[in-house]
Amino acid sequence: MFLHTLTDRRLQACAWLTIALLASGCSTSKDEMLPHGDATMMDVWDQGTTGSAGSASSRLLLDARQTLRRPLDPQQTAMRNDNAAFTRTAQNEIYSQFKRLPNPDLVMYVYPHLAGTDPAPVPGYTTVFPFYQRVQYAMPGERTEDY
């Protein structure tokens, strides 16, 4: 009996000690966890992207990059734009090989009528819907223009 009571007291003491330790872990303040500083968001961003805020090595790296940049002359830009029509991209490959077939819109007028099991009046209205339910594409080489 004595041994049983001693074990119960030890278990209770361990339980209270565990609860006290867990509760003390939650007693940290917000300011202690996330201290306020004089740094702005831009300073934090610069520090995260360049390694250290305003360091001499990062400034030298930025200066070196700036000297390597050179503007495009107008002749190169014009040549690049001329070749754009001949450059293969996913978009112009799809549109040049598989042309969309025309899908005319149909305009329908619905006359005033009664609808439902308990007939309710419905006023007349106009609606528009496509002729084909889905978009249709022509096969490569199939003629899509008018004859």
pLDDT value of residue 106: 92
Residues 76 and 21: their CA atoms lie apart, in Å, by: 71
Contact status, residue 96 vs residue 142, Cβ threshold 8 Å: no
Q: Copy the structure tokens of residue 6.
A: 């001693």
Contacts of 112 (CB under 8 A, 6+ apart): 121, 122, 123, 124
pLDDT value of residue 107: 94
Place of tokens 């819907």: 129
Domain boundaries, the chain: 106-137
For the stretch 15-36, pLDDT in tens is 888 887 777 766 677 777 777 7
CB 120: neighbour CB atoms within 10 A?
9
pLDDT value of residue 139: 83
Helix (H) / strand (E) containing 96: helix 90-97
Q: Return the amino acid letter for 75.
A: Q
Half-sphere exposure of 16 (CA within 13 A, CB side): 5
The parts of the chain modelled with pLDDT lower than 70 are: 1-6, 25-27, 49-56, 70-72, 76-85, 92, 94-96, 144, 146-147
Residues 67 and 3: their CA atoms lie apart, in Å, by: 84
Helix (H, G, I), strand (E, B) or coil at 131: coil
Residues 26 and 78: their CA atoms lie apart, in Å, by: 65
